[in-house]
Amino acid sequence: MDKFENIPGGVCAASGFQAAGVYCGIRKNPGKKDLSLIFSEVPASAAAVYTTNLVKGAPLTVTKKHIADGKAQAVICNSGNANTCNADGIEIAEKMSALTGEALGIAPEDVVVASTGVIGQPLNIAPIAAGIPQLAEQLSPEGSSEACAAIMTTDTVKKEVAVAFTLGGKCCHLGGIAKGSGMIHPNMATMLGFLTTDAAVSPAMLQKALSDNIQNTFNMVSVDGDTSTNDMVVILANGLAGNAEITEEGEDYDTFAQALNAATVPLCRMIAGDGEGATKLLECRVTGGKTLPVAKTVARSVISSSLTKAAMFGEDANWGRVLCAIGYSGADVDVTKVDVVFQSAAGTVTVCENGAGVPFSEELAAKVLHEKEIDILIDLNDGDASATAWGCDLTYDYVKINGDYRT
């Protein structure tokens, strides 16, 4: 088998994890689940990363406090309301933890709490209080998909992933679910992502692995340039795989970090491809950067350019917009060295060399850009650094979805 085998099961793929999702009544539409629970049968190492937005959802403050000891055993998350900019936000988030702890027979401080949805509308605890016992009852090792459905907002597809790998001869699993469709432009943190693993990893090494990982995964996704107030990725590692606990860097740590990457990159692609209103997944791969920050800045600038995104929606090989976005990125680039290529399952078309246009077949370009997954390849020809960023096209539906989000 591959070093990292894709397996089903999502956030329950790892041993000892169960999950569930229900409709409790936060949303008006009973057809859309709105409360989600993930539970580890045993206490787990926990690590998290949070939004850098100065406006932070109350659940983030509470979660930060709860996992300060590096341990957690459950995640409770509602959709439909972000519990952000509310006077009683902290109190409500604490209540969610307490009710979850009570239902599961664990300490409230071992509960991670998260919320996603509209900012600035008071969150009523009543439906949540009614929903939590239901969730506890419905917990199941097959519950990942239900839990995933319950954290979705404008998402149109569920985002689940899991991989199997080996550590010291023990078979380990790492899986996750994520949500995120709009207000996606993570900065040192990300949208909601919940990851679980049965590998034994110390809290410190788990935090290191997660913090390092997101720099090249979730932080390289942009849908609309808006960094959410409630971004958070949490990982729980319960050690049930039986491997020797990872407590320092080394071969096992590297394998674990690679497994994490094998799970988070597909989640990033799912989030970008399901960006609000998106019809296409865009992957921008930059090579030849003078430094890593240069390569990353260029990749993020191109993937964030409204004009480039609109051109991709229109399947228009308007590479001038790619050059323009490289030029205003702020990165140290010699624009006279830049090559640009559009690539997809339908073929490859070189549109720019040494910063100037080259003749290309519009017919081939149209075929390449008609695909659902487009790669924008940029060679800066100025060094060895490379970076990848993920985004999506800008469409009528993005405007439609966001023109009247609250109602």
Q: State the DSSP code for 118.
A: E
Q: CB-wise, 244 or 335, nearer to a second copy?
A: 335
Beta bridge partners of residue 163, listed in sequence order:
6, 174
Among 307, 346, 364, 377, binds a second copy (CB under 8 A): 307
Shortest Cβ distance from residue 223 to a second copy (Å)?
Answer: 9
Q: Considering only the stretches 8-16, 120-128, 232-240, 289-297, report the one whose residues sit in contact with a second copy under the rule CB under 8 A.
A: 120-128
* DSSP-based three-state secondary structure for 131: helix
Length of the chain in terms of residues written = 407
Shortest Cβ distance from residue 355 to a second copy (Å)?
Answer: 6
Q: State the DSSP code for 294.
A: H
Q: What is the dihedral of CA 62, 65, 66, 67, to 10 degrees?
A: 120
Q: Considering only the stretches 29-37, 100-108, 203-211, 353-361, report the one whose residues sit in contact with a second copy under the rule CB under 8 A.
A: 353-361
Q: Does 363 bind a second copy (CB under 8 A)?
A: no
Q: Does 383 bind a second copy (CB under 8 A)?
A: no
Shortest Cβ distance from residue 75 to a second copy (Å)?
Answer: 23
Q: Is 255 a catalytic residue?
A: no
- Using CB under 8 A as the binding criterion, the count of chain residues that bind a second copy stands at 64
Residues with Cβ within 8 Å of 178's Cβ and at least 6 positions away in sequence, in order, are 159, 191, 192, 193, 194, 233, 267, 270, 271
Q: Does 293 bind a second copy (CB under 8 A)?
A: no
Q: CB-wise, 43 or 120, nearer to a second copy?
A: 120
Q: Considering only the stretches 63-71, 79-87, 161-169, 375-383, report the one whose residues sit in contact with a second copy under the rule CB under 8 A.
A: 79-87
Show the site string, 196-225: x = touches a second copy by CB under 8 A, - = not: ----------------------------xx
* DSSP-based three-state secondary structure for 144: helix
Q: Does 29 bind a second copy (CB under 8 A)?
A: no
Among 15, 83, 228, 238, binds a second copy (CB under 8 A): 228
Q: CB-wise, 244 or 356, nearer to a second copy?
A: 356
Q: Does 370 bind a second copy (CB under 8 A)?
A: no
Residues with Cβ within 8 Å of 380's Cβ and at least 6 positions away in sequence, in order, are 286, 287, 288, 289, 290, 294, 295, 298, 333, 334, 337, 338
Show the site string, 155-184: x = touches a second copy by CB under 8 A, - = not: ---------------------------xx-
Q: Considering only the stretches 13-21, 240-248, 259-267, 388-396, report the one whose residues sit in contact with a second copy under the rule CB under 8 A.
A: 388-396
Burial class (CB in 10 A: 0-12, 13-18, 19+), 336: exposed
Among 119, 125, 130, 364, binds a second copy (CB under 8 A): 119
Residues with Cβ within 8 Å of 138's Cβ and at least 6 positions away in sequence, in order, are 20, 22, 146
Q: CB-wise, 119 or 204, nearer to a second copy?
A: 119
Shortest Cβ distance from residue 11 to a second copy (Å)?
Answer: 27
Q: Does 188 bind a second copy (CB under 8 A)?
A: no
Cα(317)–Cα(368) distance, integer angstroms: 9
Tokens read off for 35 = 């409360």
Active-site choice (51, 190, 196, 229): 190
Count the neighbouring beta carbons within 10 Å of the beta carbon of residue 384: 11
* DSSP-based three-state secondary structure for 248: coil
Cα Dmax for the chain: 68
Cα(208)–Cα(194) distance, integer angstroms: 16
Catalytic residue list: 190
